[in-house]
Amino acid sequence: MAAEGSNSIDALGQFQLHPALGAIGGSVNFTQSNLMMVIASVAILAFLYLGMKPRAMVPGRLQAAAEMGYETIMSMCVETIGGHEGKKYFPFVFTLFFFILFGNLMGVFPLFFTFTSHVMVTLALSLTVFILVTVVGIKEHGLHWFTYFVPQGIPKALAPLMVTIEVISYLSRIISLSVRLFANMMAGHVMLEVFGSFIVMLGGLGLLGYFPAALSLGVNTLLIGFELLVATLQAYVFAILTCIYLHDAVHLH
């Protein structure tokens, strides 16, 4: 990144992985990224367990939030994938959505690592979705599933070209799904880091630097709000695209 004399801004260092949980974690290559995944998972489970514990007829705040999360994802599944199948894949979509959402949101907190900013993690997630969608498609339709790559009503001469394009677009889902999430999260955190560094550097310049430093702080405040939006939006996009892909696999167009 841009180096400014001796005070270089290390915008990418925040994505560096290092072992967590001391010597035991180090011996099994357990990273701080995985620690955040565990914290996210525990938070999700706690959200549901503690939220639903009262089992109230008229829900309190936390219970209402938990129910809203449940019903939002449920309606997304049912409306996008379709009634019966939607309910079938609902737990997977729910897990996916909240895993990414909590990973994204917790990453906005200072000192917290954002595991969704690692392309390998998002690639693993999108590969999971891709493999699931393909397996579901073949299981539902057998060999007929391959007609998915042949658009209807095209001239025979164009078929090879169209099929090639369709296959490439199908395969590119892996990349688009993973890179969209990873790039959004990484870009946001780089921006936060850069402006955060500005605050420190300009603030260190003395009286002259206070105003631009305060400006950078203002920008960072706005950026954090924006990051919250992006975090939620990207989790939603990942989940809804998964639903759309599942719909295609179940219904073939």
Partner 1 sequence: MKKLGTMKLSRIVPLLAAGLLMLPAAAKAEGMPQLDFSTPLTLSQVVWGAIIFIVLYIMLSKTGLPMVASVLEERATKIAKDLNEARAAKASADAGMAEADQATAKARAESQSAINAALEEAKKAAAAQAETLNARLEKQLHDAETQIAQARASAMSAIRQVATETAVTVVSRLTGATPDAAQVDSAVGSALAARGLG
Binding residues (CB under 8 A) for partner 1: these are 8, 10, 12-19, 28-31, 33-34, 37-38, 41, 44-45, 48-49, 52, 55, 57, 63, 66-67, 70-71, 90-92, 94-95, 99, 110-111, 115, 117-121, 124-125, 128, 182, 186, 196-197, 199-200, 203, 210, 213-214, 217-218
For partner 1, which is the closer residue by CB, 118 or 247? 118
Report d(CA 109, CA 55) in Å as an integer. 31
Contact partners, residue 225, CB within 8 Å, separation at least 6: none
Minimum CB distance to partner 1, residue 251 (Å)? 23
For partner 1, which is the closer residue by CB, 80 or 216? 216
The string over 82-97, giving b where at least 16 C-beta atoms fall within 10 Å of a residue's C-beta and e elsewhere, is: beebbeebbebbbebb
DSSP state, residue 19: B
Report d(CA 165, CA 40) in Å as an integer. 38
Q: How many CB atoms lie within 10 A of CB 155?
A: 7
Minimum CB distance to partner 1, residue 65 (Å)? 11
Tell me the residue type at 179. V
Minimum CB distance to partner 1, residue 223 (Å)? 13
Q: How many CB atoms lie within 10 A of CB 224?
A: 15
For partner 1, which is the closer residue by CB, 63 or 80? 63
Estimate the share of the chain in helix, then strand, then coil, as percent rounded to the nearest 5. Answer: 80, 0, 20
Minimum CB distance to partner 1, residue 244 (Å)? 20
Backbone angles phi, psi at 31, to 5 degrees: -95, 170
Measured on CA atoms in the order 48, 53, 57, 62, is the torsion positive or negative?
negative
Q: How many CB atoms lie within 10 A of CB 203?
A: 15
